[in-house]
Structure formats: structure tokens, C-alpha cells
Amino acid sequence: MSPPAIAETPGPTAIWLDCDTGHDDAFAILLAARNPDVRLLGISTVYGNASLDHTTYNTRAILEAIARTDVPVYAGSSRPFSREPCYAPGIHGQSGLDGTACLPEPTVPAKDDACAVEAMYRALSAQPEGKAWLVATGALTNIAKLFMQSPGLADHIAGLSIMGGAVGDKFTSAPMGKLKGEGERFGNHTPYAEFNIYCDPEAAEALFANPRLAKKTTLIPLDLTHQFLATNEVQIGLLGFAGKMRGMPTMESVSITRRLFFEIVTFFARTYSDVFGLTAGPPTHDPLAVAVVFRPELFHFNAQGVGAGSSDGQKAQRRERFEVQVVTDGEHGTANSESTSQCGRTLVKLLPPGSEGITIPRGLEAKDLWGMIEACLSHTERAITKAASESSRSDAARDSTSAVNLTQKQLEQEGEGGGGMSDLARFARDMSSSRQSPPSPPSPSNHGGASKRKRGGSGGSAGQPYRDMASLVHGPNTTLSEFEMEAGTFPDIKGQEADNGGAFLSTNKEESLGQSPVEPTKRKKGHQLDADPNDMGSGGAKRNG
């Protein structure tokens, strides 16, 4: 009798991300680059929230901030097929990512060995058939060009996930917002159109009308993303503090990574409150297009509100399918954001069961999804701290070697001058022969004195470099044991708060680094953490756009 087959453990999901990096795209990058269940193949950029130059810069800066500069970035289309480009300064600012002083200056340039479309094709076609996903969170110009040039790729990929469109007509019960003097609308750029589809309606129509691609396409419309709000509780949770607090924690007690994403989301919250009257928190659209690819059980794919991972298998498999068309007639342009034109509107029709159409989720598990994002921030903090520890040991070893070499050379010269090797010269020789031994562990009090690295526009006082990378995650209630500093290993979150997702807001910064958490009720007056006198300030010189 043959032994039972061993079930193959699925590896991380391969994803290529195409984005116009603004505030919500930053969270999509974080989720794709720092979740262990995802293998990010690369990122292509497109105009949209801002010009292509800005969105490419923003993409590189976010990767710098989360220590994933190994991810290749390719600049894509700067304008639509046949229209003038549209931007969204009223929501994202002129740079596309306004509102933070913590964005580092990117050090790794965009790739230029191929155009963005060619880079996408190479990366996706190199994966096994039916395994890689393409995720789009901006205008669809790059994606449409890809499938026009390589139509067979539609059969090779696992699927296409798009953040775009707005259904309306009470497709969900999510609040859609309104402009001053208007009633409720379901579009966010015009009363009818969602911004990504509006930017290049011809590109969107070409993709939705492709039958080979439609059956593999998941559309994430505003009707879904407006159920995923970054509430005040969520915003505090992103800082690494569990539960509700009476006062805001001091920024000096929070890592630069968390401060960055906190500032990103609070700026987004202000603009959505000012423009659309959504005061409960901004809808954080783009990370949902990433999450649905590898955690579909957190989404509801039918009107009954049953997720893909539901115990009710019969209903869970009954995914609704839709035909989606895009209106391409009518006025178009940035100046027409309050126009009554229906250009860019998505027209959605429910198909009979068994049809091969586009999938559009109707609901989601917001708490679990925010938990995944918080876990990615913890992952980033630990990765930066571990890299700092390794860098510190490497610097110490290099400095020790240099000092011994210099001393040996000097003493050998002394020996040559005196007719023989002195005792001190022999000591230097012995030191040289043993310099391969590992250096002593760095002192936990200063995190090993890692080499300084200037990162413009973030951390410390204006224009000053960070003391070391470990200081990015060092706060008054977060310390690393001597063992952790020596071994460069850090405990993972245990149990249901594991890194691949867990109950949101039940994991704080101390727990993510293996420390006993400081309960809010035991903090100083105002429920604020005392500032570490050795920690850097939260200011910093702003980057040049």
C-alpha cells in the first residue's frame, strides 16, 4: 500500500502591482511588500493621483520607508490613450502624497532596462501558469496596453484585481459621501464616475469587454471600499496602541514607520471630511485590491453576505458575476469634476448563475483586514531593527579589522627598524590571526551604535541624520534584550495575532517586539507615553516633490 500523499503547502501569492501612489496606494504597497503571504514581483507606476514623476517618486519613497528597496519600480504611462491626464490635488495634494514630514528621500532609482509594460509581461509570464496576479490601483492605461500587446497573457495569469468603479443604486449600504450643496453621490470624481475609471475610460472599457480577462477579473468599487474606513480607533491602532485612548500618544514614542502611515491616513481623513463630509474616517480603497487576491475569505461575494471561506460551502461557492460597461461619451477633464457628464461611469448588470463575468464583492471583514495591515507595520519595524543590529555588528567587525591592520603595519615597521619583532608587534600579529572571531555584542543601551545614514525629510531634527536604524523603532517602552541584539532575532506575535493577520487593535508596539505591553490606564497623565530623551523628534525637513 502506497503511503498517503503529502499535501503541498501553497507558497506566497505572486503579485505585480500597478499604482499611482497616493495615500491609500501607500497602504497597498505596505500590504503587498510586507505580508509573508505575498511575493511582490515589482511595481509599475502610472499618472493619476498626481503626475507620473510624483507617483514614481512616491512609490520609491514608500519602499524606502518600509525597507523594501529591492522591489523593482518601473515608470509607466504619463497620460491616457486619447485624453488629457487628470489629477486629484484636492484629495492627495499636489505631490500625490502631501501631509507627512516622515517620507524619506528614495535612494534607489526606478529601473530603465525595460518599459513598464515589458517589465510586467516578463515578470508575470515567468511565473507558473495560473499562479500570478496583476493588481491595479490607479488609472488602467498600463494594464490595457499590456493586454493589447500580449493578449495571451490573459490565459496565463491567475487573475486581475482592479480598484475602480462605482455601482450605486444601493449595491451596498456604504455611505458614499456628498459635495457641499449636493445630495449623496456614488462617484468620487463626478457624481457618476470613480476617479481611476474616469482617468482613462477607454482603457477600462477595453479590459472589461475582454471575455478572456473578464472571467478572471475582480473589481473593487467604491461601494465596497467605503465599508473600509480608517476610523479614529484605526488611526490610533496604526500607532501601535490597543484600544481607545483619551489622548493621542506622543509621536516621540512611536517608530518613524508608524508615524509615516499615521500622518498619511490623517491627511487623507481631513481631505475626505472637507470634500465629501465623511467624518467617520476616510475610505482606504487600494489595499483591498491586494487583500482580495490572497485572503478572499475576508470578502463577501454575493448578496447574502457569505465569504469565500464560510462554513456554508454551498453559498460560499456561489459568486455573483457581472457584466461591466464604461461610458466613454461626454465631457472629460480635471475641470469637469462637478460636471453632470456620465463619462467614466461603470454600468453593472448581474449575470445569471454559471456565467463567466467579472466578480464584484459586496462586503468585507474590516477588522481582520486592518489587523493584517497592522501586522505588516510590525513586520516592517522588526525587519528594520534586525537590519540595524546586523549592520552594527558588521560595522564593529570592520572597524576592529581596520584598527588591527593599522596597528600591525605600524608595529611591523617598528620591528623592522629595531632588527626584530617586538613583543607589541607579536601581539598585533596574534590579534590579526584571531580577527575572524565574532565581535562582542553591542550594548543594548545604544543599540550597537549602527552606522549613521542621512535620510532627507524624516526623523530627527531638520537636516540631521538618524543616530542609527535601530532608533527608528526605539521608544521609551520598547527595549531589545541583549540576546536579541546579539542574535539579531526577534520574537514573532503569537497565536491569533500572528503576522498573517489577527484581531485588529489587540496587538500593540510592545507586543510586536516581545515586550510586556504598557496598559493605557497605567500610562502617564493624559494616557501619553513619556518621551525618550534619547529618541529623535517627530519633525524633519520636507522632501522636494
Non-local (6+) Cβ contacts of 477 within 8 A are: 253, 509, 510, 515, 518, 529
Q: Decide if 285 is catalytic.
A: yes
Burial annotation 34-43 (CB, 10 A radius, 16+ → b, else e): bbebbbbbbb
Q: Among 39, 17, 37, 14, which Cα is nearest to 27's?
A: 17
User: Cell triple for residue 534?
Assistant: 534619547
Hey, what amino acid is at 270?
A: R
Q: How far is residue 80 CA from its own chain's centroid? A: 25
How far apart (Å, rounded) are the C-alpha atoms in residues 90 and 93?
6
How far apart (Å, rounded) are the C-alpha atoms in residues 494 and 513?
11
From the list 54, 92, 285, 474, the catalytic residue is: 285
Helix-helix angle 201-208:141-149, to 10 degrees: 50
366 to 28, 116, 272, 351, 363: CA distances (angstroms): 15, 33, 19, 27, 9
What's the alpha-carbon Rg for the chain, to the nearest Å? 26
Cell numbers 549602527 correspond to what residue? 450
| Half-sphere exposure in the Cβ direction for 501 (13 Å, CA) | 14
Cβ(218)–Cβ(182) under 8 Å?
A: no
Q: Does the CA dihedral 90-92-98-99 come out positive or negative? A: positive
| Largest interatomic CA distance in the chain | 98
The burial of 129, by beta-carbon neighbours within 10 Å (0-12 exposed, 13-18 middle, 19 or more buried), is given as: exposed
Cβ(207)–Cβ(160) under 8 Å?
A: yes
User: Cell triple for residue 419?
Assistant: 632588527
- Main-chain dihedrals φ then ψ at residue 325, nearest 5 degrees: -120, 160
Cell numbers 608587534 correspond to what residue? 425
The burial of 545, by beta-carbon neighbours within 10 Å (0-12 exposed, 13-18 middle, 19 or more buried), is given as: middle
User: Cell triple for residue 112?
Assistant: 530603465
- Main-chain dihedrals φ then ψ at residue 333, nearest 5 degrees: 145, 160
Q: Among 23, 362, 300, 312, which Cα is nearest to 167's?
A: 362
Q: How far apart are the first and last CA of the chain?
A: 68
The angle subtended at Cα 512 by Cα 510 and Cα 515, nearest 5°, is 40
Q: Where in the sequence numbering do the catalytic residues fall?
A: 285
